[in-house]
Structure 1
Amino acid sequence: MAQDLIAPSILSADFARLGEEVDNVLAAGADIVHFDVMDNHYVPNLTIGPLVCEALRKHGVTAPIDVHLMVKPVDRIVADFAAAGATYITFHPEASEHIDRTLQLIRNEGCRGGLVFNPATPLTYLEYVIDKLDMILLMSVNPGFGGQSFIPSALDKLRQVRQMIDASGREIRLEIDGGVKVDNIAEIKAAGADTFVSGSGIFGHRRAEDPNRYDTIIKQMRAALAGVNR
């Protein structure tokens, strides 16, 4: 069984001191840095690009960086993020003209690749490319903004994808993103997820006067996950 990984989404961090924020959540026990890239085209928001990813690496961040591309087209920017230090690069199938080619491009650049499915995106793409995936990310909100509420139908979708991964016999991480908090993370794990993106659910507990401000919330998430036998 894959290790449970907690992936704080820096979309909800304090960008005025992003390096410090990332250092603090990793020191508090987080595993992966989730990096949301929005282009004001595929989604109605504009966030950050490869230079910020590179800056985090130069700052000294050695943890895996999980780059979620909400951009269209995809291929042009893959090499830039690979050079900037991305570990995983995931993208939405609707944003690529040739999904198989984009996945090959990500791997050729030395990164692990994955597909992202919006709440209403069908899973049929997996029938053709599951052998090329290192990660499957299910959105439990509609992409574009942080702080949204978890969409319950994502649980059924998680169960379907978990069955597909198990049947494939491959080591593919199953990630969930959107509205993940202490009070629902156990139910999400029970449905099949092993990688948990949380933005406001973690960074929303920011208290500038407390240097250990993220320890408590991440420990609570770990305890909730430990209580689930999948």
Structure 2
Amino acid sequence: MTGEIIIAPSILAADFARLGEEIAAIDAAGADWIHCDIMDGHFVPNISFGADIVKAIRPATKKIFDVHLMIAPVDPYLEAFAKAGADVITIHAEAGPHLDRSLQAIRALGKKAGVSLCPSTSESALEYVLDRVDLVLVMTVNPGFGGQSFLASQLEKIARIRSMIGERPIRLEVDGGITRDNAAAVAAAGADTLVAGSAVFRGNSSADYAANIAAIRSAAEAGAARKLHDGSAPPVRTAERMLLR
């Protein structure tokens, strides 16, 4: 990995006709993680792909597969995505009645566990499960479609969650409308893992993707540095200590 800021391109924005090639391209372009958005047409108003596609593309890269399950019910599908090659499995707090149980099930499968919050969901949903998770994902758009505009209202939530996390080894991820223009503000609020789809897959080559990733990373690192310089946020643990071991 390249440093404290993690860039996780969402393959939802890739060319699905050549998905394996697109993953190889973002791997070469400097992606840290590969973000897989799984939509069921029920929890969110769209359908993307399932565990069989995750399994099919797993050989295309050795990078971490960051699998975001926007599905309900979620428990019956956890094992399938674990076996397909997910490294991190993130579920929505809103998608089921027993969040703690679901997070325990993910860890029992030997995977890192994440919990995601929709824009209208309070960070209070995390209060009793923080010690069960390895990642918190804040949605900065309403989940279901790529290419939406960033909701700046979520910046305060990101900052509050960063404060809740404290010194726990939990990554704080943000997904939705992330671009080079807002990456600094997101990182300054406390995020250390940025998902970007359209902003990464703009262009026609791995070189284009590399420039896009570098621009987002540079902006995010500047925002994180500004936050640390101001003394208003706890130090971010290094990627080597916080990532999968």
Post-superposition CA distance 1:137-176 (Å, at most 9, x none): 000000000000000111000000000011xx21000000
- Counterpart position of 2:177: 179
Are the structure 2 counterparts of residues 106 and 145 from structure 1 closer, same or farther at C-alpha, using a change threshold of 3 Å? same
Deviation at 1:23, TM superposition (A): 0.8
Structure 1 residue runs of 5 or longer lacking an equivalent are none
- Counterpart position of 2:203: 206
Measure the CA separation in 2 of the matches of 1:100 and 1:225: 31
Deviation at 1:225, TM superposition (A): 2.4
Off by >3 Å, runs of 4+ in structure 1? none
Measure the CA separation in 2 of the matches of 1:107 and 1:211: 34
SS class of match (1:171): coil
Structure-to-structure mapping, 1:151-166, within 5 angstroms? 151-166=151-166
- Counterpart position of 2:92: 92
Measure the CA separation in 1 of the matches of 2:220 and 2:68: 23
8 A contact 2:114–2:136 mirrored in 1: yes
SS class of match (1:196): strand
Measure the CA separation in 1 of the matches of 2:206 and 2:55: 25
Deviation at 1:206, TM superposition (A): 2.5
- Counterpart position of 1:215: 210
Measure the CA separation in 2 of the matches of 1:222 and 1:139: 19
Are the structure 2 counterparts of residues 223 and 76 from structure 1 closer, same or farther at C-alpha, using a change threshold of 3 Å? same
TM-score, normalisation: structure 2: 0.88
Structure 2 residue runs of 5 or longer lacking an equivalent are 228-245
SS class of match (1:116): strand
Measure the CA separation in 2 of the matches of 1:94 and 1:215: 35
Deviation at 1:3, TM superposition (A): 1.2
| Percent of aligned positions that are identical | 49
Deviation at 1:211, TM superposition (A): 4.6
Measure the CA separation in 2 of the matches of 1:62 and 1:195: 18
Q: Which amino acid aligns with 1:191?
A: A
Are the structure 2 counterparts of residues 160 and 212 from structure 1 closer, same or farther at C-alpha, using a change threshold of 3 Å? same
RMSD across aligned positions (CA): 1.1
- Counterpart position of 2:18: 17
Does residue 141 of structure 1 match 2:136? no
Structure-to-structure mapping, 1:103-118, within 5 angstroms? 103-118=103-118
TM-score, normalisation: structure 1: 0.94
SS class of match (2:110): coil
Structure-to-structure mapping, 1:187-202, within 5 angstroms? 187-202=185-200
Equivalent pairs, count: 223
